[in-house]
Structure 1
Amino acid sequence: MKVYADYAATTPVKPIVTERITEILTNHYGNPSSIHSIGRDGRKYLDQSRREIATILGANVNEVIFTSGATEANNTAIKSVARMNKSKGKHIITSRIEHHSVLNVFEELEHEGFNVTYLNVNHEGIIDLEELKHALTNETTLVSIMLVNNEVGTVQPLFEIAELLEDKDVMFHVDAVQAIGHMKIEFKELPVDMLSITAHKFGGPKGIGALLVKQGTQFMPYIHGGEQELKRRAGTENVPYICGMATALKDTYEHMDQNNIHLMKLKEQFLVGLEENAIPFELNGSMVNTTGHITNLYFPFIEVETMLTLLDMSDIYVSSGSACTAGSTLPSHVLEAMFGKDNRIKQSIRFSFNAVTTEEEVQYMIATITKIYQQFKEEENE
């Protein structure tokens, strides 16, 4: 049996999405900026997809800016706010467990003279609200915090964060990449100014995403060269993939409730199965403030590289953390922020499930991990 359990890294493109992309590629190839009928045809599908995405996410149509993915969306939001408001102040805030498409931007801004506060987190991966409260100053212009952590699945207290900012002139950006499909997003109701998403985390194609920007929010374009996206993001829009993203998002939201129930059942089955087989492990993250699709576990009896290799040899495909740091010999910065320089950070694996993950696949993973553990016990006793 082959088991893919790395859906937090990426998801396979849904068949209905492939069909939609192919249909647009084949029959509606016009540049949406062209004024002739073929171009207007392309514009029709671009506008239709923008409306669909805005409606599903509870946003106004003109609040959706299409990007090449979340990395561009995060870069755009953070650099736009920081650089536009540096005359007011050069203090910006994020957490130590953000995705590198956020952390590396903050590091770049530090080199430009910005003062950055990196918030600490507790053992569950939740930021310290008191630390955030005391970090805010009259020169703070931006707070950027992810909604759902990509390595441990912890959900941050978004509304509590926003409450600390409501009487201050501070912009709030949220990386919501891992939340889409697992939490209902109503952009109008969320107390945030900018929100990043990417299609390939919910059954859409890679290379397309969006930045949602609240109406009235000051915004500085990151990419220049044309007047696309209401002059906010230059470059010919990728209409086939935008249509694919809209199709994937619609399908994801239509089945979100039942999928979340399914994922929580799988998570429970996985953890209970490991316990019943007397596998020594500990959960990295929270059992309460979490989503169902990510489970990060510490196995004290084995190094992460060895476990990944043995699982791969059994056709189980998982990871030790973010795919964006694949090939790095450095330990997870998320786990290090949570636990310090403990052996735990070198012995932890991320399992991430999807609506198509089956109970049989989870049972196979339990059986395989049990077999690996028994082999290590036998070697220890020799």
Structure 2
Amino acid sequence: MSVYLDYNSSYPIDSRVLECMIDIYENVIGNADSRTHNFGKNARIVVENSRKQVASILKINSDEVFFTSGATESNNIAFQGLKDYANQTNKKHIITTSIEHKSILETTKRLQKDGFDVDLVSPDLSGRISAEDVLSRIKNDTLLVSVMHVNNETGIIQPIKEIGEAINDLDVLFHIDATQSFGKLVKELQETKYDMLSMSAHKLGGPQGIGALILKKKRYKLPPIKPIMYGGQQEHGIRPGTLPVALIAGLGEACKIAETEYKSNMKKCQAIKERLYKILEESGLNYAYNGNQKYAMFSTLNVCFEGVSSEALMLSSKEFCGISNGSACNSKSYNPSYVLDAMGISSSQIENSIRISWGHEVSIDDIERSFQQLLETAKKLVW
């Protein structure tokens, strides 16, 4: 039996979430924006209940939650939606990092063509950026600081609390890409000061195709975001289009479950990681972790096996485990990981690195068996 170990790409849907969605598909048939009959009203009730569930796990107000198709769209709205405000205020300086998701890096490239000044902060070998480095780059015309909370390739947790605290009293917006941390590092997100936050449901056991952009009010006003698409007034005009009621219900249910179970889930994932550490120590292979494990997520391991091609290892092990060597958005490209490159890791080490990511549902016995097979395969591929 093959064991799925690519949770950072997409988390398997929780059966309770699926049951909730099926019920909505079968019994709630209206358009949530139809105001002339009860079918629309019932759909709207489902949507607003889900909005409250998303708000609850973050301890924010429900009118600060805006549904999108996922974090990629949320990131695009957060950046491109500020263009009018930037032009009005002449604040066109953006600070982000060189290890962000491509939905941010490609968007900032587009904005540079429109006259924006973009600073990219790189991490050191630990995989972690310096909060001081970020803050030292703030200028009078700085519009936005954006930092991914947990890197999707290395699992390294970034210092968003320190950055948010320092920026809070400045006339600078702070955006967090919380795709990998939402529903997991719950307390840390609740305690962090930010203006905007992006997330996707399918990273915490919800359905693919739905997410949210959080726009927090400051002095009773939302961040100055304008829509980047047109055609309707859904989501207060921020994101037009018919609301996918069942997907939204699935996101809400996933948030409700995570809010109740995230602590126990974290303990299960950490126990798995400790076991993998021990198996690696006893393997006899030459290996190195990419990123300081002191700052690493409890459900991600990025490791280099000396002399073992990651491509060869993935192909040779796919019958008993599903792993990756980076972000799913780059999986069709055989270019070296830009994240590991930005950390200063050598090209040979990058080519020999894989990412393993898991969730609390994975049996520790299953993952141990699969990991042992992976290591035995790696030994055969050493050159």
Q: Is the TM value for this pair above 0.5?
A: yes
Question: Is the partner of 1:122 in helix, strand or coil?
Answer: coil
Q: Which moved more, 1:60-69 or 1:284-293?
A: 284-293
Q: Equivalent of 1:344, from 333, 346, 349?
A: 349
Which residue in the other structure is 2:111 paired with? Answer: 109
Give the Å deviation of 1:51.
Answer: 1.3
Q: Equivalent of 2:340, from 310, 321, 335?
A: 335
Q: Map 1:77-92 to 2 at 5 A.
A: 77-86=78-87, 87-92=89-94
8 Å CA contact 1:2, 1:316 repeated in 2: yes
Which residue in the other structure is 1:23 paired with? Answer: 23
Give the Å deviation of 1:186.
Answer: 7.0
- Looking at structure 2, the residues matched to 163 and 247 of structure 1 have their Cα atoms a distance apart, in angstroms, of 31
TM-score w.r.t. structure 2 length?
0.95
Which residue in the other structure is 2:231 paired with? Answer: 225
Structure 2's unaligned 5+ residue stretches are none
- Looking at structure 1, the residues matched to 81 and 158 of structure 2 have their Cα atoms a distance apart, in angstroms, of 23
| Alpha-carbon distance change, 8 to 108 in structure 1, aligned in 2, over 3 angstroms | same
Question: Is the partner of 1:370 in helix, strand or coil?
Answer: helix
8 Å CA contact 1:75, 1:102 repeated in 2: yes
| Alpha-carbon distance change, 343 to 227 in structure 1, aligned in 2, over 3 angstroms | same
Which residue in the other structure is 2:44 paired with? Answer: 43
Look up the equivalent residue of 1:50 and give its one-letter code. Answer: R
Look up the equivalent residue of 1:250 and give its one-letter code. Answer: K
- Looking at structure 2, the residues matched to 219 and 48 of structure 1 have their Cα atoms a distance apart, in angstroms, of 24
| Alpha-carbon distance change, 82 to 123 in structure 1, aligned in 2, over 3 angstroms | farther
Question: Is the partner of 1:85 in helix, strand or coil?
Answer: helix
| Alpha-carbon distance change, 294 to 214 in structure 1, aligned in 2, over 3 angstroms | same
Give the Å deviation of 1:187.
Answer: 6.0
8 Å CA contact 2:128, 2:158 repeated in 1: yes
| Alpha-carbon distance change, 187 to 282 in structure 1, aligned in 2, over 3 angstroms | closer
Q: Which moved more, 1:367-376 or 1:260-269?
A: 367-376
8 Å CA contact 1:59, 1:186 repeated in 2: no
Q: Equivalent of 1:303, from 299, 309, 323?
A: 309
Q: What root-mean-square deviation, in Å, do the aligned CA atoms of Structure 1 and Structure 2 show?
A: 1.6
8 Å CA contact 2:199, 2:212 repeated in 1: yes
Which residue in the other structure is 1:247 paired with? Answer: 253
Look up the equivalent residue of 1:294 and give its one-letter code. Answer: T
Matched, 1:274 2:267: no
8 Å CA contact 1:296, 1:350 repeated in 2: yes
Which residue in the other structure is 2:4 paired with? Answer: 4
Q: Deviations over 1:301-324 (max 9, x none)?
A: 211111111111x32100000001
- Looking at structure 2, the residues matched to 104 and 374 of structure 1 have their Cα atoms a distance apart, in angstroms, of 38
Q: Deviations over 1:86-119 (max 9, x none)?
A: 3332111110000111111111111111111000
8 Å CA contact 2:125, 2:345 repeated in 1: no
- Looking at structure 2, the residues matched to 82 and 89 of structure 1 have their Cα atoms a distance apart, in angstroms, of 10
Alignment length, in residue pairs?
Answer: 377
Which residue in the other structure is 2:141 paired with? Answer: 139
Q: Map 1:188-227 to 2 at 5 A.
A: 189-215=191-217, 216=221, 217-227=223-233
Look up the equivalent residue of 2:283 and give its one-letter code. Answer: N
| Alpha-carbon distance change, 14 to 123 in structure 1, aligned in 2, over 3 angstroms | same
Matched, 1:256 2:262: yes
Question: Is the partner of 1:212 in helix, strand or coil?
Answer: strand
TM-score w.r.t. structure 1 length?
0.95
8 Å CA contact 1:57, 1:186 repeated in 2: no
Matched, 1:320 2:296: no
Give the Å deviation of 1:56.
Answer: 2.0
Which residue in the other structure is 1:93 paired with? Answer: 95
| Alpha-carbon distance change, 32 to 373 in structure 1, aligned in 2, over 3 angstroms | closer
- Looking at structure 1, the residues matched to 292 and 345 of structure 2 have their Cα atoms a distance apart, in angstroms, of 17
- Looking at structure 2, the residues matched to 352 and 42 of structure 1 have their Cα atoms a distance apart, in angstroms, of 36
Q: Which moved more, 1:162-171 or 1:53-62?
A: 162-171
| Alpha-carbon distance change, 301 to 341 in structure 1, aligned in 2, over 3 angstroms | closer
8 Å CA contact 2:336, 2:347 repeated in 1: no
Matched, 1:53 2:58: no
Deviating runs (4+, > 3 A) in structure 1? 185-189
State the identity %.
36
Which residue in the other structure is 1:62 paired with? Answer: 63
- Looking at structure 2, the residues matched to 239 and 64 of structure 1 have their Cα atoms a distance apart, in angstroms, of 15
Which residue in the other structure is 2:361 paired with? Answer: 356
- Looking at structure 2, the residues matched to 147 and 187 of structure 1 have their Cα atoms a distance apart, in angstroms, of 9
- Looking at structure 2, the residues matched to 100 and 48 of structure 1 have their Cα atoms a distance apart, in angstroms, of 32
| Alpha-carbon distance change, 187 to 80 in structure 1, aligned in 2, over 3 angstroms | farther
Question: Is the partner of 1:173 in helix, strand or coil?
Answer: strand
Look up the equivalent residue of 1:267 and give its one-letter code. Answer: K
- Looking at structure 2, the residues matched to 289 and 83 of structure 1 have their Cα atoms a distance apart, in angstroms, of 37
| Alpha-carbon distance change, 357 to 91 in structure 1, aligned in 2, over 3 angstroms | same
8 Å CA contact 2:95, 2:145 repeated in 1: yes
